Amino acid sequence: MNKNARIYIAGHQGLVGAAIQRQLASDLLLRTHRELDLTQQTAVMDFFQTEQPEYVFLAAAKVGGIHANNTYPADFLRDNLQIQTNIIDAAYRTGVKKLLFLGSSCIYPKLAPQPMKEEYLLTGTLEPSNQWYAIAKIAGIKMCQAYRKQYGFNAISLMPTNLYGPGDNFNLENSHVLPALIRKFHEAKVRGEPSVVVWGTGKPRREFLHVDDLANAAEFLMTHYDSEEMINVGVGEDVTILELAEKVKEVVEYQGTITFDSSKPDGTPQKLLDVSRLKTLGWQAKISLQAGIESTYRWFLENQEMMRDK
**Residues 67, 238, 283, 126, Cα dihedral to 10°:** -40
Annotated ligand binding at 93? The verdict is no
Q: What is the pLDDT of residues 75-112, one digit of tens each?
A: 999 999 999 999 999 999 999 999 999 999 889 998 89
SS3 category, 291: helix
Reported as a pLDDT band with limits 50, 70 and 90, residue 307 is low
Residue from 8, 55, 108, 133 carrying the catalytic annotation: 133
Number of H helices, E strands in the chain: 10, 12
164 is catalytic: no
Task: Report all structural domains of the chain as residue ranges with CATH numbers, in order of start.
Answer: 7-307 (3.40.50.720)
Annotated ligand binding at 282? The verdict is no
**Residues 108, 113, 117, 120, Cα dihedral to 10°:** -50
Q: Are 159 and 231 in contact (CB under 8 A)?
A: yes
Annotated ligand binding at 186? The verdict is no
More confident residue, 56 or 3: 56
Q: What is the pLDDT of residues 240-284, one digit of tens each?
A: 999 999 999 999 999 999 999 999 988 778 889 999 999 999 999
Annotated ligand binding at 165? The verdict is no
In this prediction, what percent of the chain has a pLDDT beyond 90?
84
Annotated ligand binding at 298? The verdict is no
Q: What is the pLDDT of residue 254?
A: 98
Give the span between the Cα atoms of 11 and 182, in whole angstroms.
24
**Residues 44, 97, 153, 210, Cα dihedral to 10°:** -80
Q: What is the pLDDT of residues 165-185, one digit of tens each?
A: 999 989 887 678 999 999 999
Determine which helix (DSSP H) or strand (DSSP E) holds 24, and give its type and residue range.
helix 15-24
Annotated ligand binding at 124? The verdict is no
Annotated ligand binding at 206? The verdict is yes
